[in-house]
Amino acid sequence: MFTTRLISGIILVLISLVTVSRGGLLLFAATVAISIIGVFEFYRVMNVQKNILGYAGYVMVLVYYGLLWFKDEQYTMLMSIAFLMILMTIYVFTFPKFKTNEIMSAFFGFFYVAVMLSYLYQVRMMADGRYLVWLIFLSSWGCDTCAYCVGTLLGKHKLAPVLSPKKSIEGAIGGAAGAALLGFIYAVIFGGYMTDVTNPLVACTFACAIAAVISQIGDLAASAIKRNHSVKDYGHLIPGHGGILDRFDSMLFTAPAIYFAVTFLS
């Protein structure tokens, strides 16, 4: 199991390096594919993956990314509102076929997965995006690694004992501190290449720290959803890791966090 997980992890890192480094159409296509699969995994847990609500969600993901590709960001929020109106229309005219929680699950899955993950592509397309985009991975995967190491060595106080008994407060603090340190080191190395960020050392350090805290909330939120619906993994697409959402759950939070943190700090 460990060997399978390690090999899958290495392959994921290599794929990430290629797609994120290239950016443009390659990263856009990868983000769309991950979003569609992620939405399907979420809908499957909510049992709306093969009805009109699920199909409407898949279509809206494509429409949302279509607007994003043509740089119509001002219409993406309008599209989210329009999708909610469409779902409510379906709810009304098919009543009582669907329950309220199914309608909300369809909308939540679209926003939680597709909209939030789209900030991976949006950060890459920023002025210094080729450098800033890696802060998403540092604050997500870096935080996970640092939290695990610190928690294993020093963890005594449970962070969320019912939801995730193995996570500790010490590990959470270590994860945030470790991500901040990684952001600082990254800025020392690459900050000189950033032309649109006023103070790369401050921006990268604080952005990673903020995103790392949010990353851990995202990880726990994904676990809470799975526990509420009695599933171990969202899927089995990635050997040793589970589904797309099992591997990218924290990144759903760090991508928009880095986008807005860097925008504010710049």
Mean pLDDT check: name the lowest of 29-38, 80-89, 176-185, 216-225: 216-225
Instruction: Identify whether residues 204 and 257 lie together within a single domain.
Output: yes
Domain span at residue 13? 1-125
Predicted confidence at residue 132, as pLDDT, reads 94
Q: Which residue has the higher pLDDT, 238 or 162?
A: 162
How far apart (Å, rounded) are the C-alpha atoms in residues 87 and 152? 45
How far apart (Å, rounded) are the C-alpha atoms in residues 227 and 109? 17
Instruction: Identify whether residues 159 and 188 lie together within a single domain.
Output: yes
Q: Name the domain boundary from 75, 93, 125.
A: 125
Mean pLDDT, range 60-78, rounded to an integer: 84
Predicted confidence at residue 209, as pLDDT, reads 93
**What would the pLDDT profile of 223-237 be if each residue is shown by its tens digit?**
888 888 888 878 777
What mean pLDDT, rounded, does the chain reach?
88
Instruction: Identify whether residues 112 and 86 lie together within a single domain.
Output: yes
Predicted confidence at residue 164, as pLDDT, reads 81
**What would the pLDDT profile of 72-81 be if each residue is shown by its tens digit?**
667 778 888 9
Predicted confidence at residue 72, as pLDDT, reads 66
What's the whole-model pTM score?
0.90
Q: Is the pLDDT of residue 2 over 60?
A: no
Instruction: Identify whether residues 151 and 262 lie together within a single domain.
Output: yes
If one counts the domains in the chain, the total is 2
In this prediction, what percent of the chain has a pLDDT beyond 70? 94
Instruction: Identify whether residues 71 and 152 lie together within a single domain.
Output: no
Going from the C-alpha of 204 to that of each of 36, 131, 139, 257, the distances in angstroms are: 30, 10, 10, 12
Task: Give which of 113, 85, 87 is closest to 100, Cα–Cα.
Answer: 87
Predicted confidence at residue 207, as pLDDT, reads 92
Q: Is the pLDDT of residue 5 over 90?
A: no
Mean pLDDT, range 135-159, rounded to an integer: 87
Instruction: Identify whether residues 141 and 211 lie together within a single domain.
Output: yes
Q: Is the pLDDT of residue 213 over 60?
A: yes
211 three-class SS:
helix
Instruction: Identify whether residues 35 and 78 lie together within a single domain.
Output: yes
Q: Name the domain boundary from 125, 150, 174.
A: 125
How far apart (Å, rounded) are the C-alpha atoms in residues 156 and 115? 37
**What would the pLDDT profile of 11-56 be if each residue is shown by its tens digit?**
877 888 888 888 889 999 999 999 999 999 999 999 999 899 999 9
How far apart (Å, rounded) are the C-alpha atoms in residues 225 and 34? 19
CB contact burial 111-133 (16+ within 10 A = b; e otherwise) = ebbbbbbbbbbbbbebebbbbbb
Q: Is the pLDDT of residue 95 over 60?
A: yes
Predicted confidence at residue 119, as pLDDT, reads 94
φ/ψ (deg, to 5) at 193: -90, -10
